[in-house]
Amino acid sequence: MAKEKSPREKSTPKSGTPAGMREGMKKATTGMLVLFLLQQKPMYTYDIMRRVEEITKGALTFNTLYIAIYRLKEFGYVEEFERRLSEDNHARVYFTITESGRKYLKDIIAEYRQMTAAIDAVLSSGGDEA
């Protein structure tokens, strides 16, 4: 009898699947998206997640951004802007992009565009399209 998969195994995209590729791309671009939105105005993590979902019409969503935010903070790309108490008594930590974060964002957007252009060139070079 086959062992039943755990909930984590059932929900985790596997390498070699479209869902796995999607998750990999999402993970690779999360920091860039966070920095891009923070350059517009200071935001708290839930607000960033909501804004991404709104802009992408639900095509891109996040369960959490804390790991990405704290990694960006470790590198000095974001910093705490202020703490506010919400109407429902939850502390909200607003983050803002730093000057080094702005430079890093500019560099990774250029790298992203170069990489996606190269991929598009290969996919447009002929052959069978899926």
pLDDT less than 70: residues of the chain: 1-13, 128-130
Any domain includes 77: yes
48 assigned to some structural domain: yes
* pLDDT on residue 86: 80
Query: How confident is the model at residue 51, as a pLDDT?
Result: 96
* 55 within some domain: yes
Asked whether residue 1 is assigned to any structural domain, the reply reads no
Q: What is the pLDDT at residue 90?
A: 85
For residue 36, the model assigns a pLDDT of 98
Is 2 within the bounds of a domain? no
Provide the pLDDT for residue 2.
53
The answer to the question of residue 104 being in a domain is: yes
**% helix / strand / coil in the chain, to the nearest 5?**
55, 10, 35
Residue 37 lies in a domain: yes
**Residue 89: what pLDDT?**
84
Q: Let me know how many helices (H) and strands (E) the chain has, helices first.
A: 5, 2
Please give the residue range of the domain that contains residue 95: 25-121
CATH code for position 44:
1.10.10.10
Left (φ > 0), alpha (ψ -120 to 50) or beta: where does 32 sit?
A: alpha
How far apart CA 107 and CA 59 sit, in angstroms, is 25
> What does the pLDDT read at residue 52?
96
Q: Which residues pair with 92 in a beta bridge?
A: 84
pLDDT of residue 126: 84
Query: How many domains is the chain partitioned into structurally?
Result: 1
What Å distances lie between residue 101 and 30, 52, 77, 79, 109, CA to CA?
A: 14, 19, 4, 10, 12
pLDDT for 19 equals 87
> Does the residue 99 lie in any domain?
yes
